[in-house]
Amino acid sequence: MTGHIPPKPEPQPKKLTPLARFFKSLHSSTAPLYANSYSMKLGEVKLPLRTMYFVNQPDLVQNILLGDVDRYPKSDLMATMLELLLGESIFVSNGELWKQQRRMMDPAFEATRIKAIFPLMKEAVDAMAARFDEGAAGPDTAIDLEMTHVTADVIFRTIYSRSFTREEAEIIFENFEKFQRLAWLHGVWSLAGVPHWLSVGKHRAKRYAATIRELLHKPVRERMTAMESGDAVPERDMLASFIAAEDPETGKRFDDRELVDQVGIMFLAGHETSASALGWALYLIAQVPDVQRRLQEEADAAFADGDLSFEKMRRLPFTRDVFRETLRLYPPVAFVPRDATEAEEMRGKHILPGSILFVSPWLMHRHTEHWDNPDMFDPDRFSRAETKASEQKAYLPFSKGPRVCLGAAFALQEAVIVLATVMRDWTVSPVEGHVPKPVARLTLRSENGIRLDMERRRGS
């Protein structure tokens, strides 16, 4: 296979001043990185109020992610950036609140076992295929918007037992992009010690967050009203599980606001990260005809004797590896911040309580010590024996440990269904002159979108 090196931010020169580096970070978390950032094991950045450490040594990363969640809690930086949108959801909570939420929510995920959820995923992907047939796909397709629609449709069906409209998809796509830009600025300025009340664009961010929360809150209100009226309601979706959730130790149940907080993180984590990765996957596929040919052949074989089923998923190993390689090159969450609660030594540096420890899938996945040709798109690397050690040490697109993403298997299955269905029907190719510009804020997206020319395959 001919290798392809896709775009990444240009490394900054070493002479970049700390102030210049700070201002670059306002744009994207990856913007101020140096060339040696991709080989370092522990980086240090001193700020007026806190010191940040970028931890890329596998044993130290394992200790942070797999160790005591109370010793390395989710950083309060996450709450600073996301509180307007996600409140005190399980994604940003810590301590006893997080443990209680986890006890209450774990049973809800029983309803989303990947085999049980397969028919809902397939319905949403078939709806995507129908939209493509009706004209959504063609020259200069905004594939990032299309992936937002299908992944939001999957998770909407899972949570609410109903489909997701095009109008709702566009509301989410536009408002979350605006929200995350302002939330990122708010987080970076807070690290520099700027008071929250001086934060840039907080009122606008609040408006964008409120628009998204209302879209998620409306079906919750409708469900609660129907239940109070004694009407028949779905009993096996995620919302039903959240409404029925009860802490086995205290008997506590979610109130209305808490329901929206938890639904919010399930919705956003369940579609935004997948939409980001799928957009990048199709961009990468379009760059390498040989990869696309192999994917199309695999899809043709899987669909040859009828529609895709859960049992046929094993026939799509290369499709899965293409998505895994996409997650390596473009992990949806580029940096995972944890707070240090105790003083300790790391590689001769004295880490003080209150410091922020950044574990970076972006840097770990491109680290020169752990990967051959780390910037190259090479999905075959996951079938080579020498990659196994790298995968164990330096591959963490869904994080690891007690706070690992609960939806990892969900996301992988969803992605394979989407990619196989697109490859069955379409050939994708680059739009002349268009090169996506990756920016990492809350999630890793393209600043100028991802556009592809899509041509229907003969006989599909």
CATH code of 261's domain: 1.10.630.10
CA distance 336 to 363: 11
Tell me what pLDDT residue 103 has: 86
Which is more confident, 458 or 338? 338
Inside any domain, residue 6: no
For range 123-133, the mean pLDDT: 97
Tell me what pLDDT residue 198 has: 60
The residue type of 401 is G
Residue 160 pLDDT > 80: yes
Tell me what pLDDT residue 23 has: 81
Question: How many CA atoms within 13 Å lie on the side-chain side of 350?
Answer: 0
Whether 386 and 380 have beta carbons less than 8 Å apart is answered as no
Tell me what pLDDT residue 2 has: 52
Inside any domain, residue 9: no
How far from chain centre, in Å, is Cα 428?
23
Tell me what pLDDT residue 196 has: 64
pLDDT tens-place string over residues 298-310: 999 999 999 999 9
For range 274-282, the mean pLDDT: 97
Q: Are strands 336-339 and 141-142 parallel, antiparallel or unpaired?
A: unpaired
Which is more confident, 362 or 254? 362
| Summary mean pLDDT of the chain | 91
For range 107-112, the mean pLDDT: 66
Tell me what pLDDT residue 200 has: 61
For range 120-146, the mean pLDDT: 96
At 360, is the pLDDT very low, low, confident or very high (cuts 50, 70, 90)?
very high
For range 275-290, the mean pLDDT: 97
Tell me what pLDDT residue 370 has: 95
At 168, is the pLDDT very low, low, confident or very high (cuts 50, 70, 90)?
very high
Cβ-based burial of 24 (10 A; exposed 0-12, middle 13-18, buried ≥19): middle
Inside any domain, residue 272: yes
Whether 272 and 176 have beta carbons less than 8 Å apart is answered as yes
Query: What tokens does 321 get?
Result: 């590896």
At 98, is the pLDDT very low, low, confident or very high (cuts 50, 70, 90)?
confident
Reported as type and span, the H/E element at residue 239 is helix 238-244
Inside any domain, residue 1: no
pLDDT tens-place string over residues 190-241: 887 776 656 667 788 899 999 999 999 999 999 999 999 999 999 888 888 8
Number of compact structural domains in the chain: 1
Inside any domain, residue 326: yes
Inside any domain, residue 8: no
For range 259-288, the mean pLDDT: 91
Domain that residue 439 falls in: 18-456
Residue 405 is labelled as binding a ligand: yes
Tell me the C-alpha to C-alpha distance, in Å, between residue 416 and each of 269, 272, 309: 18, 16, 12
Inside any domain, residue 73: yes
Query: What count of other Cβ atoms lies within 10 Å of the Cβ of residue 226?
Result: 13
Inside any domain, residue 386: yes
pLDDT tens-place string over residues 22-44: 788 889 999 999 999 999 999 99
Tell me what pLDDT residue 19 has: 75
For range 335-361, the mean pLDDT: 95
CA distance 257 to 3: 49
Whether 451 and 143 have beta carbons less than 8 Å apart is answered as yes
For range 145-150, the mean pLDDT: 96
CA distance 396 to 7: 21
